[in-house]
Amino acid sequence: GHAGSDSGGNLHAAGCGWNEETLTWNTRPAVDPLGLASVGAVQRRQVVAFDFTAALEPGRDVYCFALSSESPTFDDVIYSSREGKSGPPAVEVLVDEAPTSTSTTTPPPVTTTSTQPPVTTTTTSTSVTTTTVCGNGVAEPPLESCDGADDAACPGRCQGNCRCPGADDTFACLASGAGIVVGGTLADSYYSRALGPGTVIDARDATFVHCSQPDPSNPCATNVYPINLGPISAPGDCWAGGRIIGANRLDATWSEMHSPNNAGFMFENGSFTVDGIRVDDVGDGIRPRGGAGGFLIKDVWLSYIRDDCVENDHLNGGVVDDSLFDGCFSAFSARSLDTTIDGHTNLWTIQNTLVRLQPMPGPPEGGDLGHKGFFKWIDWGDPNSRSPMLALFNDVFMAEEQGQFSADRMGIPPGKLAACANNVMVWLGPGDYPAVLPDCFTVTKDRSVWDSAVAEWIRRHPELGP
């Protein structure tokens, strides 16, 4: 559907005397009128869980269910499913009493199910299943960061939910409670145009697949915006957690990755917080757009970002805090070709953050590998350009070679530095650093400065990696 519903539907027990090839409305199995579980109001593309514990019987290994959308206002919800001969969808349920898993068969459409702890079973809008067992002594990422004695990520501090305790203020917005919970693996876009004021989305147990340039040996469905929020949402919302993982060819060129306009996480919400997400192998990493002024991007880990780690081409003001950008073609972009957009009075603060440029395959200027610079600003050298002002505090930057442009572009946009203190540039290329940096930077050729900073950041954020 194109919107949410006041009812996510009801799960009913159903007879199993049916055949998928001959199933019609007239031959449908009998359905128990008493529902096993129901879901209240849902957002568009929200993944939901149904508890069918009450239907489990000793010795029974096949179960059939029916889903019905029973909206009191007839605002029905549509259930999505996917089938295929290669890697078809499946639901796997593990229960304490049985040594093996129990398979469930559902008539179309496919159901999303969960069981009571200590078992967690999560399915997705495209029926890709991730199953972990909390309490079996084996840490099973990404849903678990530890499990009992298997606690290398946080020795002696593994919690009962098989997660390491949060470090610093990661996922801080969850303290007020989550209005929407997203879980499982989603191969299509999570899209919401209109979130209510103060909406908190808990996506810690969710993985989103980005697919722009698939590997022929491991095909995936095109999905160029795994998370896409706005543009008519109320301000003050927060997204906490989740993994955005690219299924793209590692050797795809910059042009190939850039030609389908794409980003891992895009939002247009004002005063929006992106908290504690992991993003790998996408075009742009995070993209605030339109009315996303006052954004906060915090405690995020980005790697192998084929274009901009943060593309802020609508020139909004905002903050990037305590984040790890370990591999950007270009780190921060604030370059709009739309002359009606003017952000010269806005301030973009980047603080307590680690940023590394990484040469990517097939850069536009030619050669096998290459990258741009840390900052991509309009009319470089013009202090009156439409790009926002910059504030840089307590950051560590690293580059191993000069970007594919003039040496000065490896520096800070001239006339755009509003405030700056205690930053480090780790330079591993030949000779001196290519650009002149302000006095608020210390330049070093010691790689261990970067490595130590990354190791400490990862230690403080055990739920985000690898």
Last residue of a domain, one of 79, 99, 114: 114
Least confident of 84-93, 185-194, 295-304, 394-403: 84-93
**pLDDT exceeding 90 applies to what percent of the chain?**
58
Q: Does residue 337 form part of some domain?
A: yes
What does the DSSP assignment read for 196-233? PTT-EEEEEEEEEEEBSSBBTTB----BS-SEEE-SSP
Q: What is the largest CA-CA distance in the chain?
A: 79
Same domain, 110 and 176: no
Q: Is 347 helix (H, G, I), strand (E, B) or coil?
A: strand
pLDDT in tens, 250-286: 999 999 999 899 999 999 999 999 999 999 999 999 9
d(CA 231, CA 80): 24
Q: Which residues contact 60 (CB under 8 A, 6 or more apart)?
A: none
For the chain, the average pLDDT equals: 82
Task: Tell me the residue range of the domain where 208 lies.
Answer: 172-460
Q: Which of 52-56, 156-160, 323-327 has the largest mean confidence?
A: 323-327
Q: Does residue 178 form part of some domain?
A: yes
pLDDT in tens, 309-325: 999 999 999 999 999 99
pLDDT in tens, 85-107: 344 445 555 555 444 433 333 33
Residue whose C-alpha is closest to residue 170's, from 101, 242, 234, 90: 242
Same domain, 223 and 363: yes
pLDDT in tens, 276-315: 999 999 999 999 999 999 999 999 999 999 999 999 999 9
Q: Which residues contact 195 (CB under 8 A, 6 or more apart)?
A: 43, 201, 229, 233, 234, 237, 269
Q: Does residue 136 form part of some domain?
A: no
d(CA 422, CA 426): 13
- In total, how many domains does the chain have? 2
Q: Does residue 139 form part of some domain?
A: no
Q: Are strands 396-399 and 92-93 parallel, antiparallel or unpaired?
A: unpaired
Same domain, 62 and 203: no
Same domain, 278 and 414: yes
d(CA 287, CA 91): 34
What does the DSSP assignment read for 363-387? -TTSSSEE---SEEETTTT-TTSSS
Q: Is 458 helix (H, G, I), strand (E, B) or coil?
A: helix
Residue whose C-alpha is closest to residue 359's, from 367, 350, 351: 367
pLDDT for residue 70: 60
pLDDT for residue 240: 98
Answer whether residue 374 shows pLDDT above 50: yes
Same domain, 214 and 99: no
Same domain, 446 and 358: yes
Determine contact, residues 29/18, Cβ cutoff 8 Å: yes
Answer whether residue 126 shows pLDDT above 90: no
pLDDT for residue 39: 77
Q: Does residue 126 form part of some domain?
A: no
Residue 443 phi, psi (nearest 5): -100, 135
Last residue of a domain, one of 75, 91, 114: 114
Same domain, 322 and 417: yes
Last residue of a domain, one of 114, 133, 156: 114
